[in-house]
Amino acid sequence: MTALVPHIRAMSFQRLAQSAFGRWLARYNEDRFAAVCLSVTAGFLVIALAGPFFALHKPGDLAAIELADSMLAPLSKSAIGDVRYVLGTDVLGRDILSMAIFGLRTSLGVAFAATGGALAIGCVAGLAAAHAQGAAAAAIMRTVDIFLSAPSILFALLFISILGRGAENTVLAILLVQWTHYARAMNAAATAELKKDYVAAARLQGFSATDILFRQVLPNCIPPISVILAVQFGFVIALEASLSFLGLGLPITQPSLGGLVADGQEYLMGGAYWISILPGSILLLLVFCMNVVGDRLRVLQSPLSARGGTC
Amino acid sequence: MLKIHDLNLSFENGQSSAHILKDFNLTVTAGEIVALVGESGAGKSTVGAAIGGRLPPGGKIMSGSITFNGERLDSFSPTQFERIRGAEIGSIFQNPLSALNPFETAGRQLIETLIIRGGVARRSARERAITLLRRVGFDDPEIILPRYPHELSGGMLQRVVVAIALSCDPSLIIADEPTTALDVSLRNGIIELLRDAAEASQIGVLLITHDVSVVQAAAHRVCILHKGEVIETGATSDVLANPRHPYARRLISSVPPPTGKLKRLQNPPLSTLQPNSLRLDRNDSRAATGVVLQDVSVRYAGKRNIFLKQTTDLYALKNVNLSAAPGRILGIVGSSGSGKTTVARLIAGLADPTAGRITFTHAVEDKSGGSANAPTVDEAVASPTDAPLVQMIFQNPFASLNPRYSVFRQLIDAPKKVAGMSRADAEDQAVTLIEAVGLARNDLDKYPHAFSGGQLQRISIARALSMNPSLLICDEPTSALDVTIQAYIVDMLKDLNDAFGVTIVFITHDLSVCRHLCDDVVVLNRGEVCETGSTLDVLDAPKHRFTQRLVLNSNVCQRIDDRKAQAIKGAGSPNAGGTDDGELLSRIQSA
């Protein structure tokens, strides 16, 4: 039957469906709700990447702002007479949708940078601790314990107050509280893997310790780490939003979702709900979907969910 | 009593379906032990699951019937199974620890079963439980009742499971690999219990096993299953003495004979290792490497507990002296916990001794005499990590290969990176090796999860050979495998030693494999060497008490029919934990 299928199709769809990723995706999609959440998350990523094409104006572009259009409710008529502000405008006449798109870009950008850094540092620290044992390992893992002993927002606030405000410092502060999660998970996974015979076999074959850690052990620790990653990513977005809401995150010139919520909160009582609530809802939806995706990954990861196991 | 007629059973998983049992026929009458033998994947356990109504999801009876005491089990609903399970059909499982609830005491689990399943009154249940425990060989059942499963040894737990199975006077017991997880010394006790149950209470027993020696000791009739089909059935003695089907012959010949020594287990040979089939680039100075352990100890220092009381040191090995002569096969035997694996890891350099010295020796060609049997030993200082001259085959084939890499990559990576081989040479070698261990060239592109345990173990051997080792350590390489695969691997190791003079240190608890394969043997007991010498000398005329016990236990299966073996029944007294075999020995000898 495969012979009848046009070559091109055989190359693309069938290959994809039969590849390991395709099979994994099919299993993932058995949970319809998680599949929807995955698409929503992917949609947000696309909007963030292609954001400037959708936005009416840039955040700091004063020339594009019509003061006459300030405080417009969603879907109401602008001064020119058309419905150009789908989500309304704020007190300065800035388009909420444009601000939200740029806010999404900033939030995701900060989250990616912080998570990427935390992942790299955490994995290396966790692997090193698993390999070293003894005092060095204790030093690393007790530091991790200290960080995990209090809510991460406290440590983030501490770092921001030391480092000062700004995009880079926000990334750094989040990174400094986040690496511990990866270090802990990596340490647990690597400690278990290091006891397995294939590691002993690799030692006997003469591979160096670095080779064994990064080429033999690390790839086998990816599944548990990827679950932590999916769960923590949503958390990082929320953490950045919290910092910005408190006015400690990004400066006002760089709108982030949390900052937008904070901007609009003084107008909430006046009935201008959209300035705060709409960016807030986007934030909520994004974090919610990411958590559902993370949860689904964790279910797929647990050995009990594996089908066709030995019996 | 139990009659299975033309049973066809298949598993469906999405689109694919697998035909597990084909026209399967089996009868078990009261008081009879029928053994169902076959290698893993033959469908043995599926038969047991179908009778007990425990088929895993996807399992479906296509045609045929299962009749038990006049009732058609194949059309039973789960609730109907609920009624007969435990009450009329008892089950014994491979792993007693997972068959019992870890949060309940053994006594409570037994008593609850008696009350709920057997309808025994609460007052008399305890009395009844004690009687049952006595029946399965506990001298002092009162001690067992309040114990949690983790406080009992494997052999004791399996006795408790047997007691629970017997508790409601079932007419059939399904014993699925009841002895596989147990030490040999305990195996005999459980077999004796089953025979006893069958004869005294007229219970039919369906004994599912892969172990031909268990069949020989226990079963009245045997049914050999191969790929879902019954290929041979009949009285045990007839079938084992005179197998007709080729697979049955192979299965039975795979079990090393209890005495004597064969050239190879399987004829014709299945492995294709020939001196010229491998182009191992052998450096003459590394032609063969032996190893000498002098006064080696491994001690785990006791820790101070919270009351600052020092716990005593634990010796994994104590003043061990042994040597593997270059080019010979040294067997290390002992029961579990005797320190066998520690010796292996020490030689491989994966662990360090607390005290003592490990030296590697090289055989030097004696130019005047040229005698291969007695090479003069030239002591050389070499650490196994300098150049990977020592390679190791591990017990668990599923953990000994990195699941993330294809077989190809695992075979070429180390030769390329560590031994400095060119890519083309490494690839050629990988192809040669994979064919030499009896796998196909296209298996190279697969990942470890696509292989069975036996295949993985062969890949492990190929990987070890890819480093051109002069000393190969095998840590129970066949204990997780079927006998036919075991025979294959044992033959292969023998060929390796014959063809290349690779020194092999072979660790096993199976004396018959040791007898067949090894030139010399070291017997370890609780971290100490208790006997050493040439294999046949030691095993045929053991001098040390422990060795005598080991030899007796491994042979006792063959003569369990002797009246002597009656004494085994009491071997599992609670204080001894079923492991004090000295008592067993004296009983057997006095009988």
What residues pair up with B293 in beta bridges, in sequence order? B322, B358
Note the pLDDT of residue B581.
40
ipTM value? 0.71
How open is the CA angle B207-B481-B469, to the nearest 5 degrees? 165
Range of the domain at A188: 30-306
- CATH number where A134 lies: 1.10.3720.10
Q: What pLDDT, in 10s, does the model give residues A248-265? A: 877 777 888 888 888 888
For a pLDDT cut of 90, what percent of chain B falls above it? Answer: 14
Q: Phi and psi for B244 in degrees, rounded to 5?
A: -100, -40
Q: Which pLDDT band, with edges at 50, 70 and 90, does B265 fall under?
A: low
Q: Reduced to 3 states, what is the DSSP secondary structure of residue B124?
A: helix
Q: How far apart are CA B57 and CA B390, in angstroms?
A: 46
**CB neighbour list of residue A11: distance below 8 Å, 6 or more residues apart:** none
Of A206, A216, A307, the CB nearest to B402: A216
Please report residues of B whose CB lies closer than 8 A to that of A220.
402-404
Q: Do A203 and B399 touch (CB under 8 A)?
A: no
From A196's Cα to the closest Cα of chain B, the distance in A is: 6
Q: Does A197 touch chain B (CB under 8 A)?
A: yes
Q: Do A206 and B419 touch (CB under 8 A)?
A: yes
Q: Residue B255: name the closest of B266, B268, B244 by CA.
A: B266
Q: Which pLDDT band, with edges at 50, 70 and 90, does A12 fall under?
A: low
Please report residues of A whose CB lies closer than 8 A to that of B345.
200
Note the pLDDT of residue B388.
60
Q: Reduced to 3 states, what is the DSSP secondary structure of residue B434?
A: helix
Structure tokens at B479: 């204990």
From B58's Cα to the closest Cα of chain A, the distance in A is: 10
Please report residues of A whose CB lies closer than 8 A to that of B20.
none
Q: How far apart are CA A221 and CA A189, in angstroms?
A: 6
Q: Residue B481 has what DSSP assignment? A: S
The H or E element that residue B456 is part of is helix B453-466
Residue B249 has pLDDT above 80, yes or no: yes
What residues pair up with B7 in beta bridges, in sequence order? B24
Q: Which residue of A has its CA nearest to B16?
A: A308
Note the pLDDT of residue B363.
66
Structure tokens at B588: 């057997």
Q: Does B358 touch chain A (CB under 8 A)?
A: no
Q: How far apart are CA B488 and CA B552, in angstroms?
A: 26
Q: Do A196 and B399 touch (CB under 8 A)?
A: yes
Phi-psi region of B311 (alpha: psi -120 to 50; beta: other; left: phi over 0): beta
Residue B373 has pLDDT above 60, yes or no: no
Of A197, A202, A206, the CB nearest to B399: A197
Among A63-72, A280-289, B63-72, B540-549, the range scoring the smallest mean pLDDT is A63-72
Of B13, B350, B400, the CB nearest to A203: B350
Q: How far apart are CA B565 and CA B589, in angstroms?
A: 10
Of A196, A200, A205, the CB nearest to B418: A205
Exposed e or buried b for every residue in B369-378, given b needs 16+ CB within 10 A? eeeeeebebe
Between the CA of residue A250 and those of A245, B360, B464, what are the distances in Å?
Answer: 9, 65, 57
From A208's Cα to the closest Cα of chain B, the distance in A is: 9
Please report residues of B whose CB lies closer than 8 A to that of A203.
349-350, 385
**CB neighbour list of residue A135: distance below 8 Å, 6 or more residues apart:** none
Q: Reduced to 3 states, what is the DSSP secondary structure of residue B509?
A: coil
**CB neighbour list of residue B524: distance below 8 Å, 6 or more residues apart:** B320, B332, B333, B334, B338, B339, B340, B343, B530
Note the pLDDT of residue B309.
65
Between the CA of residue B458 and those of A292, B430, B493, what are the distances in Å?
Answer: 43, 13, 10
Q: What pLDDT, in 10s, does the model give residues B435-487? A: 888 888 888 988 888 888 888 988 998 999 888 888 899 998 887 777 778 88
Q: Does A304 touch chain B (CB under 8 A)?
A: no
- Which carries the bigger pLDDT value, residue B538 or residue B378? B538
The average pLDDT across B557-565 equals 43
Q: How far apart are CA B68 and CA B88, in angstroms?
A: 10
Q: Does A214 touch chain B (CB under 8 A)?
A: no
Residue at A15 is within a domain = no
Q: Which residue of A has its CA nearest to B417?
A: A207
- Provide the Cα torsion B400, B405, B408, B409; round to 10°: -100
Q: Do A202 and B414 touch (CB under 8 A)?
A: yes
Between the CA of residue A193 and those of A121, A208, A302, B538, what are the distances in Å?
Answer: 20, 16, 16, 39
Q: Does B388 touch chain A (CB under 8 A)?
A: yes
Structure tokens at B541: 């005329």
Please report residues of B whose CB lies closer than 8 A to that of A189.
none
Q: How far apart are CA B525 and CA B581, in angstroms?
A: 13
Most A CBs within 10 A among B40, B341, B402, B475, hence the mutation to make, goes to B402
Note the pLDDT of residue B556.
52
Q: How far apart are CA B292 and CA B582, in angstroms?
A: 31
**CB neighbour list of residue A50: distance below 8 Å, 6 or more residues apart:** none
Residue at A9 is within a domain = no
Q: Does B204 touch chain A (CB under 8 A)?
A: no
Of A200, A207, A219, the CB nearest to B414: A207
Note the pLDDT of residue B375.
39
Tell me whether strands B314-324 and B289-300 are parallel, antiparallel or unpaired: antiparallel
Average pLDDT across chain A, whole number: 83
Q: Which pLDDT band, with edges at 50, 70 and 90, does B582 fall under?
A: very low
Residue at A16 is within a domain = no
Residue whose structure tokens are 């209090």: A150
Of A201, A216, A219, the CB nearest to B392: A201
Average pLDDT across chain B, whole number: 79
- Which carries the bigger pLDDT value, residue B262 or residue A51? A51
- Sign of the C-alpha dihedral computed for residues A249, A255, A256 and A258 taken in this order: positive
Q: Which pLDDT band, with edges at 50, 70 and 90, does B421 fall under?
A: confident
Q: What pLDDT, in 10s, does the model give residues B139-154? A: 888 888 888 888 887 7
Note the pLDDT of residue A116.
95
Residue at A43 is within a domain = yes
Q: What is the 3-state secondary structure (H, E, C) of B345-405?
A: HHHHCCCCCCEEEEEEEEEECCCCCCCCCCCEEEEECCCCCCCCCEEEECCCCCCCCCCCC
Between the CA of residue B214 and those of A304, B208, B571, what are the distances in Å?
Answer: 33, 10, 18
Please report residues of B whose CB lies closer than 8 A to that of A206.
385, 387-388, 414, 418-419, 467
Structure tokens at A103: 């806010």
Q: Which pLDDT band, with edges at 50, 70 and 90, does A13 fall under?
A: low
Q: Does B70 touch chain A (CB under 8 A)?
A: no
Q: Residue A109: name the closest of A168, A37, A21, A195 by CA.
A: A168
Residue at A62 is within a domain = yes
Note the pLDDT of residue B370.
37
Q: In the A/B pair of chains, how many CB contacts fall below 8 A? A: 68
Q: Do A206 and B403 touch (CB under 8 A)?
A: no
Q: Do A204 and B401 touch (CB under 8 A)?
A: no
Note the pLDDT of residue B429.
87
Q: How far apart are CA A171 and CA A189, in angstroms?
A: 27
The average pLDDT across A87-114 equals 86
Please, are residues B317 and B339 in contact by the beta-carbon 8 Å criterion? yes
Residue at A34 is within a domain = yes
Of B13, B388, B400, the CB nearest to A198: B400
Q: How far apart are CA B207 and CA B440, in angstroms?
A: 36
Q: Does A194 touch chain B (CB under 8 A)?
A: no
Please report residues of B whose CB lies closer than 8 A to that of A190.
none
Number of domains in chain A: 1
What residues pair up with B149 in beta bridges, in sequence order? none
The H or E element that residue B327 is part of is none
How open is the CA angle A269-A272-A277, to the nearest 5 degrees? 95
Of A202, A219, A308, the CB nearest to B13: A308
Residue B553 has pLDDT above 80, yes or no: no
For residue B395, which amino acid is it? Q
Q: What is the 3-state secondary structure (H, E, C) of chain A?
A: CHHHCCHHHHHHHHHHHHCHHHHHHHHHCCCHHHHHHHHHHHHHHHHHHCHHHHCCCCCCCHHHCCHHHCCCCCCCCCCCCCCCCCCCECCCCCEHHHHHHHHHHHHHHHHHHHHHHHHHHHHHHHHHHHHHCHHHHHHHHHHHHHHHCCCHHHHHHHHHHHHCCCHHHHHHHHHHHHHHHHHHHHHHHHHHHHCCHHHHHHHHCCCCHHHHHHHHHHHHHHHHHHHHHHHHHHHHHHHHHHHHHCCCCCCCCCCCHHHHHHHHHHHCCCCCCHHHHHHHHHHHHHHHHHHHHHHHHHHHHCHHHCCCCCC
Q: Does A207 touch chain B (CB under 8 A)?
A: yes
Q: Does A81 touch chain B (CB under 8 A)?
A: no
Q: Does A226 touch chain B (CB under 8 A)?
A: no
Residue A30 has pLDDT above 70, yes or no: yes
Residue whose structure tokens are 């990427």: A116
Residue B575: how many CB atoms within 10 A of its CB?
8
Q: Does A223 touch chain B (CB under 8 A)?
A: no
Q: Does A201 touch chain B (CB under 8 A)?
A: yes
**CB neighbour list of residue B120: distance below 8 Å, 6 or more residues apart:** B114, B128
Structure tokens at A221: 């620790």
Q: Reduced to 3 states, what is the DSSP secondary structure of residue B315?
A: strand
Note the pLDDT of residue B277.
43
Note the pLDDT of residue B285.
43
Burial class for B70, CB neighbours closer than 10 Å (0-12, 13-18, 19+): exposed
| DSSP letter for each residue of B163-218 | HHHHTT--SEEEEESTTTTS-HHHHHHHHHHHHHHHHHH--EEEEEES-HHHHHHH
Most B CBs within 10 A among A19, A30, A205, A211, hence the mutation to make, goes to A205
Q: What pLDDT, in 10s, does the model give residues B566-577? A: 444 444 333 333
